[in-house]
C-alpha cells in the first residue's frame, strides 16, 4: 500500500507503548502522536491548557476531555490522516473513542493493538522509569543513558516524571482498568483488535508488533 498504517496502541502505563510507538512510527515512516507527550510539551511551554492539564497529570488523573480533544484535534489532522500515524495514549475512554471517530473523518483505523503486559511487570518498570523531558525517550535506572542522565537521542535532560510516583501510578492503573479496558472489547467487536505480548526483550516485542501489523495490512 502506498500510505502508512493508521494505528492505535493501547496498553497499561509502563507497557512500553511510548517506546514501541516511536519505533513503529519510524519503521512505517508515519507520525508518532502521543497525547501524554503533547500535554507535557504544552505544560513545559507554560500554555494555559498545558498548566491546567499538569494539575491532573501529576495526580495520575486523566486530563479533562475538552483539553485532550483540543490537542487531538490539532494534531490528528491533515496529512497524518492520509499518510498514517501511530496514536499512543488516546483514546482512553468511550467518549474519547467516539471523538476519535469524528476526528478521523471517514479515514478508518487499520488496527488497534493492545500491548499486553502483567501488572507486576509494569509496576517494576515504572518505579525505575526515567524520561527525557525534551523528546520523551524512556530509560530505566537499570538501563540509563550513556552519559550522566543526558538523553542518547537528543541530548535533553533525563528525569523522573512527576507523575511516576507510586500513588499516581496506582491511580492511573485503576483508571486504565475502569475506563480503557472496555475499549479492548469495543475494538474487538469491530474486528480491529490484535493483542500482542509486550513482555520480554524490546526488540522481540517490536518484531511481534510489526508481524501482527503487517499480517493485518497485507
Contacts with ligand ADP by CB under 6 A lie at 13, 35-36, 39, 56-57, 60-63, 68, 89-90, 92, 96, 163, 172
Cell of 19: 517506546
Q: Which of 17, 23, 40, 54 is catalytic?
A: 17
CA distance 127 to 111: 30
Question: What phi, psi does 138 have (nearest 5°)?
Answer: -110, 150
Least distance to ligand ADP from the beta carbon of 121, Å? 14
Reading the block at residue 125, the C-alpha cell is: 518498570
To the query of whether residue 17 is one of the catalytic residues in this protein, the response is yes
Which residue among the candidates 40, 125, 129, 208 is catalytic per the annotation?
129
Q: Is 102 a catalytic residue?
A: no
119 or 211: whose CB is closer to ligand ADP? 119
Of 103 and 216, which CB lies nearer to ligand ADP in the complex structure?
A: 103
The 8-class DSSP code of residue 157 comes to B
Closer CB to ligand ADP, 75 or 96, in the complex: 96
Give counts: helices (H), strands (E), the chain: 10, 8
Please, are residues 11 and 90 in contact by the beta-carbon 8 Å criterion? no
Active-site residue, from 92, 125, 130, 208: 92
Annotated catalytic residues are 17, 92, 129, 161, 172
Amino acid at each position: 500500500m502506498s500510505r502508512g498504517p493508521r494505528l492505535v496502541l493501547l496498553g497499561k502505563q509502563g507497557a512500553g507503548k511510548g517506546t514501541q510507538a516511536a519505533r513503529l512510527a519510524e519503521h512505517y515512516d508515519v507520525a508518532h502522536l502521543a497525547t501524554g507527550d503533547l500535554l507535557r510539551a504544552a505544560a513545559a511551554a507554560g500554555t494555559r491548557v498545558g498548566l491546567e492539564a499538569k494539575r491532573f497529570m501529576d495526580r495520575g488523573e486523566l486530563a479533562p476531555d475538552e483539553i485532550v480533544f483540543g490537542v487531538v484535534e490539532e494534531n490528528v489532522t491533515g496529512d497524518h490522516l492520509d499518510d498514517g500515524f501511530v496514536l499512543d495514549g488516546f483514546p482512553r475512554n468511550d467518549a474519547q473513542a467516539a471523538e476519535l471517530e469524528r476526528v478521523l473523518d471517514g479515514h478508518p483505523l487499520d488496527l488497534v493493538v493492545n500491548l499486553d503486559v502483567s501488572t507486576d511487570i509494569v509496576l517494576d518498570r515504572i518505579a525505575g522509569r526515567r524520561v527525557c523531558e525534551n523528546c520523551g525517550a524512556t530509560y530505566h535506572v537499570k538501563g540509563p543513558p550513556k552519559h550522566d542522565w543526558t538523553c542518547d537521542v537528543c541530548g535533553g535532560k533525563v528525569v523522573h516524571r512527576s507523575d511516576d510516583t507510586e500513588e499516581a501510578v496506582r491511580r492511573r492503573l485503576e483508571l486504565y482498568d475502569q475506563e480503557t479496558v472496555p475499549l479492548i472489547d469495543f475494538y474487538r467487536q469491530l474486528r480491529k483488535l490484535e493483542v500482542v505480548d509486550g513482555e520480554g526483550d524490546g526488540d522481540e516485542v517490536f518484531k511481534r508488533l510489526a508481524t501482527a501489523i503487517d499480517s493485518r495490512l497485507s
